Structures are given as structure tokens and as C-alpha cells.
Copies of this chain bind each other. A is one copy, B any other.
Amino acid sequence: MILTVTLNTALDITYRVRSLRPHASHRVSAVTERPGGKGLNVARVLAALGHEATVTGFAGGGTGRAVREGLSAISGVVDALVPVGGSTRRTIAVVDELTGDTTQLNEPGPQITPMEWSAFLDTYEDLLAEASAVALCGSLPPGVPVGAYAGLVRTARTTGAPVLLDTSGEPLRRGVAARPDIIKPNTDELAELTGSHDPLRATQDARRRGARAVVASLGSEGLLAVTPEGRWRATLPTHVHGNPTGAGDSAVAGLLSGLVEQMPWPDRLARSVALSAATVRAPVAGEFDRVEYENLVGRVAVTGEATAA
């Protein structure tokens, strides 16, 4: 199975309002809820691609219960979340009906105690024994040490499971130094890590900091991958419109499934770009449209070259 770690799981709530105006009162016309957090989104897409995915991280309180109930309805995803005393955070996306624009409110997440963190580390080690690959995803809840991902990368390396790290800021900086197999920063995250706004230069710099392969997500410009096996650029010929929520998580699922299936890099990148675009095009935020995906995957242009053996 593929293991995804989401330390700061979330109950993702979407509100529709006519038009959000600060300091006014709004009647919400529609409410939807789904289990969220990057690693949960990655697992959902992995399961849709036919992989068995196990999710771990933390869940607690009434919101944690709602996350677990939602997870239990997704076939192919196994819930190995660790219970905590605090409450799983909510994220609220307020969608303006007039413009389609979204305002986001993200709770910080529960305070994790040292005992809960230690219980998670035990669970993580147990799960690693079965894992063909690991994705470490998203922000850290309060109480989790900022170097957490570095430790989780090192533990995974002792079992031989390849590790993809998808986070930002200081947790990314520290995690990269522990030598993960893949990181998938977007341009902002890459610039924050390296200080450079030039994607190629920043990607190369991120590799020097410890990442074995760097797959930079350039938004509508596709993916730029710099790896020991070669360097590629993958793009769609046409611009895709829609809701970008979850597009990065679908890209991670594409990279990870391709790695486990031992696909060559160009095929992994094509799958990632197509999954990402099929997520942007899907009517429900964070889901991917399978028909779109099948249509798009053959149309991704991958340029670049393998490193001379």
C-alpha cells in the first residue's frame, strides 16, 4: 500500500453566499463538507487510480469524527488516523455566487501533546513496514516539532520506502535537509526555500539542499522536474479553467503512483499534469474528472532528456 501522512487533517467546509462583504451578515445558501488535508486528498486520488492507500495523521473531536465518517465512505482508502484530545481543524471556503471567487478561512488545528506525537510515531513505524511509498503532506498542527518531517523522512529511509514531501516554509526547509526522494513545491514555496524566483535555478538549488528529485509545479505552465535520471518539462497544450483546489494533491498522487508502478519519469509527469488539470476541470472541488483525465493524459507534452548513463 501507499502511505499518506496528514498531520493536520481538516474538515473542509464549502459555503455558497451571494457575495461576501466584510462586516455584513450573510445567509449561506448551500453547505458541503468533506474530509480534507493534503494527504487525504492524495489518498482519494490514489484509490481512484486503483492503489490501496492508507492515511495516517491525527483526528479528534466532533470534526475528527466527521472526517473519519467521510473517509469510511471512500473505497480503497484505509483509515489509520491516530486519535487526539483536541479537535480536528475546519477549513471554510466561502464561494461568491456572483463571481465564483473563493475566500478561505483556515483554523490552526488542535494542540498535539508530546504523548500524542509519540503515539503517532509508533503508528507511523508500524505502517511503514507495509508501505511501498510514503507521502508527507501539508502543514503541522500546534505542538508538533518544526523538524517533524525531517525525522519522518529519516525513519522512512531506514525501511527503504521512497518518500515524497509536500509542505512549505520551515518544515520544508528542515525536511529537505533529511534527503527526501521527491519534493513538489509550487513557485512560491520554491522561492521561499531557495530565495530564487527563477524556477530552473531554484529547482537545482533545492536539489543541492538535499532533495533527490524536485518536481516544481508552475501552475498553468505545468511541471518542471529535475532528477538524477534527467530533466523534463511537462505541459498541456491548452490552458485549463476551473477550481484549482486539490490540483497539487492530484499531482502528488500522479507522481507517487507512477513511482510505485515504476513508470519512466516522462510518463509519471504526464500523468501528474493530466490528473492536475482533470481536478481543475471537475465540477466538485478537489475531485478529478476521470473522463477528462483519460482525454488529457495523451495530450501532455513532455520535453527534456535523460541523464547520460
Contacts and interface: CB of A to CB of B under 8 A. Distances in A.
B101 A27 contact: no
Given A62-B63, A65-B62, A22 B96 contact: yes
B24 A107 contact: no
A254 B31 CA distance: 35
A147 interface: no
Interface in A82-99: 92, 94, 96
Contacts of A107: 15, 28, 31
Interface string A6-26: 000000000101001111111
A21 B24 contact: no
Interface string A21-57: 1111111110100000000000000000000000000
A106 B23 contact: no
Contacts of A191: none
A21 B62 CA distance: 29
Interface of A: 15, 17, 20-29, 31, 62-63, 65-66, 92, 94, 96, 101-108
Given A62-B63, A66-B62, A101 B22 contact: yes
A104 B20 CA distance: 10
Nearest to A24: B103
Contacts of A31: 107-108
Nearest to A15: B105
B105 A26 contact: yes
Given A21-B22, A22-B21, A27 B65 contact: no
A168 to B, nearest CB: 13
B23 A105 contact: no
Nearest to A105: B26
